[in-house]
Amino acid sequence: MDNMGIMDSDYFSDEELDGKIFELYEKTSNREFKSHVQFIKADSLCEAEDLAKEANPDYWRSKSVRSVTTEYAWETFTQLYFSYNMAKSVLGLDDFVGE
């Protein structure tokens, strides 16, 4: 897969990450997905939940953790990267020293 000149195969193989990518997400009052918060790399859902709990002990009140595919993580990355670059442009931060 080639997005923005970056080959995901340059960084990882799907087999290496299968079952090890989890998403911390905001949930609705019905415990449904609302929005992405961050990705977590862990060996199990339990470990991913423990990592989320370490960062915020009350995360479970408004957030949850779920297993996601490598493809989903990559698609989310490209969407966030595009949004980040658009926001930089709109704010006049094209020369921002962060890249």
Q: What is the pLDDT of residues 52-71, one digit of tens each?
A: 999 999 999 999 999 999 99
Do 19 and 68 contact (CB within 8 A), yes or no? no
If one counts the domains in the chain, the total is 1
Range of the domain at 69: 19-90
Q: What is the mean pLDDT of residues 15-33?
A: 92
Task: Report the pLDDT value the prediction gives residue 6, as an integer from 0 to 100.
Answer: 52
Q: Does 3 score more than 70 pLDDT?
A: no
11: in domain: no
97: in domain: no
Residue 51: CB atoms within 10 Å: 16
pLDDT band at 24 (very low <50, low <70, confident <90, very high): very high
pLDDT band at 5 (very low <50, low <70, confident <90, very high): low
As given in the structure block, the two tokens for residue 92 are 């006049």
CA 18 to chain centre: 15
Q: Does 8 score more than 60 pLDDT?
A: no
Task: Report the pLDDT value the prediction gives residue 39, as an integer from 0 to 100.
Answer: 97
What pTM does this model have?
A: 0.75
Q: Which uninterrupted H or E stretch holds 73?
A: helix 70-90
92: region left, alpha or beta (phi > 0 left; psi from -120 to 50 alpha): left
Mean pLDDT (the chain, rounded)? 86
- Closest by Cα among 97, 19, 23, 96 to 59: 23
CA distances from 94 to 70, 88, 89, 99 (A): 30, 6, 5, 10
